[in-house]
């Protein structure tokens, strides 16, 4: 059975406003295919499932079409929907046991749809018991009441109940949430069996592992809009939309090595409400706002890309007009992104650099995607700093071309060097040497703003400086602003440098061994702060370090350098778990070798 | 039978038995704590002056000097003493009046519970409609009217003014009726007191059932029931209402405890020959043995009904068995 959803819009009416839960969603469910719906909570996933079943609450206003083969379900009334439910489309709801009636035995609830459709009671109960047994629930468990079953047993029971009438369409809402790994893999097996039986399956989940492993197609939902349609296998490896990437980065997979990164900002609700306009008419508009304070500030633009306020690669055009779904160049994804998907922040083609007779960098290609953390790892003298400084625009390459945000950096530099420089921030290895000793803290942080003349008003400048300092958890007290670097410890100076690098809100931050001069506890703090700010500001980070252990905790992707060449690039998890190059293996081995387990110190008194 | 099953039924039985014993003990010892004795209590406030011989004779006739165990034995043998106001054994008076009260109160309870439940469920199902809102408003008003007030109004309108129903009694005295005619006659007499009681009890049941149902209808399992393609009536009763039933059963048990006081007002008002009227007369005539007998017997009955309900709970909601 084929389900075709066309321009499905669902709006929940509250007292004086509405919530837009789904916004012109198109989706097709085909027999023998698992279609997954992923997204944060509140993105409208469950609403879509309930809309197919015709089970939306009374305050839901539904537009669009849901075709079950040739029938438009949205035109059906309750009396015509009743025979379709469970026989043609069944749904396993989320939150387990709450979906079972506490006062009826499990097997009676499983058999109930059969009995209501005319199967003799005895026969129906026998079939229910057989089905429950196939789900791993013995007769004794089938006889129990819901409160006498464990979470895993309930989920198995709900699956048996959903499949009792052998429906051609199965909707599963978070079928594995709160399940242990064993039950989860059992549920995954059942879902795959359903696919083999040629059922159409809609899998609603926030478990990206499950979606990636099972789904043939995936729709990524954000605030009721589909942001990306992609093949299941690409979800974790090759997402095309920045939101999909951000979701993948936030998800704890077994082989993730870096610390989990969140997505900056919050997903708000989409409010539709009427305002009195100046001319006395009321006009109705939609905007994105926090649920508790939707009348106060923080109105995101009603127009433009919904994800734009949280996106790491937004350009001014992103907040204008509506964004349509476009097919990616590869042809297998469709993304709703003005920039055609995740953009390149930086792109090098055959870039070289030599100092006299010494070749610091052989012809090198390198690409940094917007919003990612890329680590350059290698021993001293491998060309890391040269490459980083070329990326920062501080050093010019001998040959090759550099592109920053899609523009040729050298041409850009000739035309407007200041504009380019204002988009790039740098942090150097040695904090004490990278600040002028004749400037106060305030002057150090204010300097980039003065140079680029971004803020003319002195009090606005002070505000920017204070905001930058509080971002890095430094004091904004007048006494502190008047201090000189020699009065501060190393950690504080490096934080001042971080504030300086971020004060003009750059798109790219180049950090060259930013923590190697710090002792471990200060390093841990500064790194945490750097990574938090990277997510909050949505800045692309090029992180240079000789410490692969550090890179492992920080990077989305790692590039390993040796002798002026990048010898290996890839996702951090792959580089660390399955290094391809011998040198990388040596690097990892020696990093591990440093921390040899010592013989326990005997504590004889 | 599992040990846990025995635990389930044994604990409440023992608890109720203990409560009954305490009741019996209080019933035995409280009159003995009264200042003076039965005879003083009976004649102390009247103008009658007794000679010492008369007082001693009366004492010998009415006063019960037996210990608690002997008292308990007599309670079991239905020997509850002798009513001097009616000059008859207390148990005989009690069992004469009991059927009338059971018919009136039992019918009133069952009727108001069923009516309140069904209407409450249907109202919750139609939540937000104009009919439902009007219904809830009306019930809230009715809930506030005491049975004395509604009883007097019914009496005035339907018995005294319109003359549709008899104003007093439970049946026509000395009439030569066939069985069916007698039944019709009793129903005719029952109509007004029964209506009064149903009007008093049913709004509370309605509001309780509706509130419970509104809560239950928000439960995910009701949505599941709808998703399963079940007919609306099955969703409403087998799934939703079934779970809203428990508070109503509790109320049923609690209400039974008020059986005697409820009967006191309505039975007296309609001169209905039940326990209420009997108790009213006993109090008016300071007939201590009768008061004592009625109160003790009625209390034990209420205990018995509540004990029975303990088991009904378990039948209605399997989770209750685990809670204890």
Q: Is the pLDDT of residue A106 over 90?
A: yes
Q: Please answer yes or no on whether A103 and B230 come within 8 Å at the CB atom.
A: no
How many alpha carbons fall within 13 Å on the CB side of residue A368? 32
Quick one: pLDDT at residue B64? 64
Q: Is the pLDDT of residue A277 over 60?
A: no
DSSP-assigned states of every residue in A523-586: HHHHHHHHHHHHHHHT-EEEEEES-HHHHHHH-SEEEEEETTEEEEEEEHHHHHHS--SHHHHH
pLDDT averaged over chain B? 82
Report chain A residues whose CB lies below 8 A from the CB of B225: 101
pLDDT bin (cut points 50, 70, 90) of residue A429 is confident
Nearest to A48 by CA among A71, A79, A26, A68: A26
CB A9 within 8 A of CB A63: yes
Domains identified in chain B, total number: 1
**Which of A224-238, A463-477, B115-129 is least confident?**
A224-238
Nearest to B229 among A83, A102, A104 (CB): A83
Rounded Cα gap, residues A219 and A244, in angstroms:
10
pLDDT averaged over chain A? 86
**Which of A264-268, A475-479, A481-485, A600-604 is least confident?**
A600-604
Beta-carbon contacts of A298 under 8 Å, excluding residues fewer than 6 positions away, are A289, A290
The residue-averaged pLDDT of A452-468 equals: 87
Q: Which residue of B has its CA nearest to A57?
A: B223
pLDDT, tens digit (0-9, with 9 covering 90-100), for A216-265:
999 999 888 899 999 888 887 788 898 888 888 777 766 666 666 667 76
Asked if the structure places residue B27 within a domain, the reply is no
The percent of residues in chain A predicted with pLDDT above 90, rounded, is 42
Q: Is the pLDDT of residue B36 over 80?
A: no
Q: Is the pLDDT of residue B200 over 70?
A: yes
Rounded Cα gap, residues A5 and A27, in angstroms:
5
Chain B segment 228-267 residues within 8 A of A by beta carbon are: 228-232, 234, 238-239, 242-243
Nearest to A113 among B221, B229, B242 (CB): B229
DSSP type of residue A181: H
Rounded Cα gap, residues A270 and A255, in angstroms:
35
Task: Give the torsion through C-alpha atoms of B125, B130, B134, B139, to 10 deg.
Answer: 10
Asked if the structure places residue B271 within a domain, the reply is yes
CB contact A114 to B (< 8 Å): no
Q: Please answer yes or no on whether A116 and B317 come within 8 Å at the CB atom.
A: no
CB contact B322 to A (< 8 Å): yes
Q: Is the pLDDT of residue A601 over 80?
A: no
Q: What angle do CA A133, A134, A136 make, to 5 degrees?
A: 65
Question: Residue B253 maps to which CATH number?
Answer: 1.10.3720.10
Quick one: pLDDT at residue B157? 85
pLDDT bin (cut points 50, 70, 90) of residue A446 is very high
Quick one: pLDDT at residue B42? 67
pLDDT bin (cut points 50, 70, 90) of residue B277 is confident
Beta-carbon contacts of A257 under 8 Å, excluding residues fewer than 6 positions away, are A552, A553, A572, A573, A576, A577
Asked if the structure places residue B71 within a domain, the reply is no
Rounded Cα gap, residues A448 and A501, in angstroms:
8
Q: Is the dihedral of CA B102, B105, B110, B111 positive or negative?
A: positive
Beta strands in A174-257 (DSSP E): 200-204, 217-222, 225-231
Quick one: pLDDT at residue A544? 94
Rounded Cα gap, residues A389 and A426, in angstroms:
9
Beta-carbon contacts of A274 under 8 Å, excluding residues fewer than 6 positions away, are A16, A17, A282, A283, A284
Rounded Cα gap, residues A167 and B28, in angstroms:
70
Q: Is the pLDDT of residue B281 over 70?
A: yes
Domain of B161, in residue numbers: 97-288
Asked if the structure places residue B49 within a domain, the reply is no
Asked if the structure places residue B273 within a domain, the reply is yes
Q: Is the pLDDT of residue B189 over 90?
A: no
The percent of residues in chain B predicted with pLDDT above 90, rounded, is 16
Asked if the structure places residue B268 within a domain, the reply is yes
Quick one: pLDDT at residue A379? 86
CB A211 within 8 A of CB A36: yes
pLDDT, tens digit (0-9, with 9 covering 90-100), for A172-190:
999 988 888 888 999 999 9
Report chain B residues whose CB lies below 8 A from the CB of A102: 221, 243, 317-319
String of b and e for A286-317 (b: at least 16 CB within 10 Å)?
ebbbbeeebeeeeebeeebbbbbbbbbbbeee
Q: Please answer yes or no on whether B227 and A86 come within 8 Å at the CB atom.
A: yes
pLDDT, tens digit (0-9, with 9 covering 90-100), for B157-169:
887 888 788 877 7
Q: Please answer yes or no on whether A112 and B317 come within 8 Å at the CB atom.
A: no
Quick one: pLDDT at residue A294? 42
Q: What is the ipTM of this complex?
A: 0.75
The residue-averaged pLDDT of A424-447 equals: 90
The residue-averaged pLDDT of A143-158 equals: 91
User: What pTM, to 2 d.p., does this model score?
Assistant: 0.78
The residue-averaged pLDDT of B73-100 equals: 82
Taking the CA of residue B140 and the nearest CA in chain A, the distance in Å comes to: 26
The residue-averaged pLDDT of A479-508 equals: 90
CB count in 10 Å sphere of residue B154: 22
Taking the CA of residue A267 and the nearest CA in chain B, the distance in Å comes to: 25
Taking the CA of residue B124 and the nearest CA in chain A, the distance in Å comes to: 14
Quick one: pLDDT at residue A489? 87
């Amino acid at each position: 059975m084929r389900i075709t959803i066309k321009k499905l819009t669902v709006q929940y009416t509250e007292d004086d406003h509405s919530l837009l839960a789904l916004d012109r969603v198109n989706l097709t469910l085909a027999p023998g295919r698992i279609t997954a719906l992923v997204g944060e909570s509140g993105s409208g996933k469950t609403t879509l499932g309930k809309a197919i079943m015709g089970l939306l609450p009374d305050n839901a206003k539904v537009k669009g079409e849901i075709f079950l083969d040739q029938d438009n379900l949205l035109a059906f009334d309750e009396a015509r929907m009743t025979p379709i439910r469970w026989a043609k489309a069944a749904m396993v709801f989320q939150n387990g046991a709450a979906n079972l009636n506490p006062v009826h035995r499990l097997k009676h609830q499983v058999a109930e749809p059969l009995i209501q459709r005319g199967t003799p009671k005895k026969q129906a109960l026998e079939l229910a018991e057989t089905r429950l047994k196939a789900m791993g629930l013995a007769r004794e468990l089938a006889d129990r009441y819901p409160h006498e079953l464990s979470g895993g047993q309930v989920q198995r029971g709900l699956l048996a109940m959903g499949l009792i009438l052998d429906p051609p369409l199965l909707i599963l809402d978070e079928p594995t949430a709160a399940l242990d790994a064993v039950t989860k893999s059992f549920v995954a097996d059942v879902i795959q069996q359903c696919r083999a039986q040629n059922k159409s399956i809609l899998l609603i989940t926030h478990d990206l592992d499950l979606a990636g492993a099972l789904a043939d197609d995936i729709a990524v939902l954000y605030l009721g809009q589909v942001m990306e349609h992609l093949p299941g296998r690409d979800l974790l490896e090759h997402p095309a939309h920045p939101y999909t990437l951000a979701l993948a980065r936030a998800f704890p997979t077994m082989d993730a090595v870096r610390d989990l990164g969140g997505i900056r900002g919050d997903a708000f609700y989409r409010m539709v409400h009427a305002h009195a306009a100046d001319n006395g008419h009321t006009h109705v508009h939609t905007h994105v706002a926090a649920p508790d304070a939707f009348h106060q500030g923080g109105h995101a633009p009603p127009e433009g890309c919904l994800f734009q306020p949280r996106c790491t690669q937004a350009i001014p055009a992103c907040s204008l007009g509506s964004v349509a779904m476009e097919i990616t160049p590869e042809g297998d994804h469709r993304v709703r992104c003005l920039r055609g998907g995740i953009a390149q922040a930086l792109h090098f083609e055959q870039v070289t650099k030599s100092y006299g007779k010494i070749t610091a960098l052989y012809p090198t290609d390198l690409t940094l995607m917007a919003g990612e953390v890329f680590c350059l790892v290698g021993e001293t003298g491998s060309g890391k700093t040269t490459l980083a400084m070329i990326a920062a625009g501080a050093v010019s390459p001998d040959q090759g071309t550099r592109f920053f945000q899609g523009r040729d950096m050298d041409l850009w530099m000739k035309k407007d060097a200041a504009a380019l420089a204002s988009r790039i921030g740098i942090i150097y290895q040695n904090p004490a040497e990278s600040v002028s000793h004749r400037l106060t803290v305030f002057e150090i942080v204010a300097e980039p703003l003065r140079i680029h003349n971004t803020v003319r008003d002195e009090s606005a400048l002070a505000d920017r400086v204070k905001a930058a300092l509080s971002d890095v958890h430094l004091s904004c007290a007048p006494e502190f602003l008047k201090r000189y670097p020699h009065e501060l410890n190393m950690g504080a100076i490096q934080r001042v440098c971080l504030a300086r690098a971020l004060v003009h809100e750059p798109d790219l931050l180049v950090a060259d061994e930013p923590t190697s001069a710090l002792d471990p506890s200060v390093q841990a703090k500064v790194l945490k702060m750097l990574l938090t700010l990277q997510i909050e500001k949505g800045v692309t980070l090029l992180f240079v370090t000789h410490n692969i252990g550090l890179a492992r905790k920080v990077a989305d992707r790692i590039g390993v350098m040796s002798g002026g060449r990048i010898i290996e690039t890839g996702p951090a998890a792959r580089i660390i778990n399955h290094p391809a190059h011998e040198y990388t293996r040596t690097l990892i081995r020696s990093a591990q070798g440093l921390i040899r387990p010592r013989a326990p110190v005997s504590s004889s008194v | 039978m599992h040990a846990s099953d025995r635990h389930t039924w044994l604990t409440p039985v023992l608890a109720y038995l203990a409560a009954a014993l305490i009741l019996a003990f209080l019933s035995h010892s409280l009159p003995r704590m009264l200042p003076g004795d039965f005879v003083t209590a009976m004649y102390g406030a009247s103008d009658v002056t007794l000679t010492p011989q008369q007082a001693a004779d009366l004492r010998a006739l009415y006063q019960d000097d037996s210990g608690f165990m002997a008292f308990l034995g007599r309670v079991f043998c239905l020997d509850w003493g002798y009513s001097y106001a009616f000059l008859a054994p207390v148990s005989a008076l009690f069992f004469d009046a009991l059927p009338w009260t059971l018919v009136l109160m039992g019918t009133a309870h069952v009727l108001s519970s069923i009516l309140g439940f069904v209407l409450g469920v249907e109202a919750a199902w139609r939540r937000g409609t104009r009919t439902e809102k009007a219904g809830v408003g009306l019930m809230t008003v009715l809930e506030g009217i005491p049975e004395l007030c509604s009883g007097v109004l019914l009496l005035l309108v339907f018995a005294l003014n319109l003359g549709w129903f008899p104003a007093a009694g439970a049946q026509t005295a000395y009439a030569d009726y066939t069985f069916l005619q007698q039944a019709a006659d009793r129903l005719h007499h029952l109509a007004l007191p029964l209506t009064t009681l149903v009007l008093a009890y049913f709004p509370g049941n309605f509001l309780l059932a509706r509130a419970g149902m509104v809560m239950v209808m928000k439960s995910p399992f009701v949505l599941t029931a709808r998703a399963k393609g079940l007919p609306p009536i099955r969703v409403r009763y087998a799934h939703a209402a079934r779970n809203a039933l428990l508070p109503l059963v509790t109320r049923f048990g609690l209400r039974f405890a008020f059986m005697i006081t409820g009967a006191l007002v309505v039975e007296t008002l309609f001169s209905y020959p039940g326990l209420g009227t009997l108790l009213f007369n006993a109090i008016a005539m300071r007939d201590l043995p009768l008061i004592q007998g009625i109160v003790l017997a009625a209390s034990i009955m209420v205990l018995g009904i509540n004990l029975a309900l303990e088991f009904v709970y378990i039948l209605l909601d399997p989770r209750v068995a685990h809670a204890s």
